Amino acid sequence: MRILILGDVVGRPGRRAIRQLVPALVKDEAIDLVIANAENASGGMGVDIKSAEELFSAGAHVLTSGNHIWKKKEIYPYLGKQPRLLRPANYPDGAPGQGWVEWQGEAGKRALVINVQGRVFMPHHVDDPFRCVDGILRARGDHAPVVVVDMHAEATSEKNAMGWFLDGRASVVYGTHTHVQTADERILPRGTAYITDLGMCGPLDSVIGIEKDLVVEGFLTQLPRAFEVAQENVVVQGVVVDVDDASGRAREIRRVRVPWQRPDR
């Protein structure tokens, strides 16, 4: 199975880039499963129904998220209706939606996709992501040998620890949240493909997707201000992973960084 996994989608520029670039990537790379993190797809903070539907229409099969999933109240009931939009599984019982999905595609392709959130330097008090993933694998691991885990976290150490914790039990473990693509992609000894952060689908001429002057001014003044999504130098970032369907072991992981040109230029 070949999997395209895309970093945090930031606002309209990120959505437009995915809509225009992903179909060609799917064709050129013979992709079976497309996963994207959508927690910042609407205005750079949160995801609404329209943004989620746009990403699904662009070719995403599964959307993961993180702590910003709760920013748009309209998404709460949608999470219960659309199982392919995940929220972190380690939120307390009673939170809308679920943090895993048993995906099934064409030609019998199957995968278990899991989304968890880290606890180090993160704003919400969530349950232990390590024990949470372990429980899901024990309960759902027989769905398919192919297991994909989005570890949405701030600390690189926590993401790295999750990779080692799941080495040999997951096909792919990757980090999201920081919007900066790391260069440490590799296959761990027991066959798990790993990268600390996928990066983002959004504008590089920014501070993690937001207009740079606004962010710099905020650091200088320490005053609150409204952020705006930047528009320049938009890229699609992520990885392509090749996984053996029978064993679930990764054979290759390769970073993706594709520039997008606005149509008015």
* Active site residue ranges: 68
Using an 8 Å Cβ cutoff, are 56 and 26 in contact? Answer: no
Amino acid of residue 176: T
Decide: residue 94, CB within 10 A, 0-12 exposed, 13-18 middle, 19+ buried. Answer: exposed
Using an 8 Å Cβ cutoff, are 149 and 116 in contact? Answer: yes
Dihedral (C-alpha) 11, 52, 59, 257: value to the nearest 10 degrees?
A: 30
- The CA-CA-CA angle for residues 224, 225, 229, to 5°, reads 140
Amino acid of residue 159: K
Decide: residue 156, CB within 10 A, 0-12 exposed, 13-18 middle, 19+ buried. Answer: middle
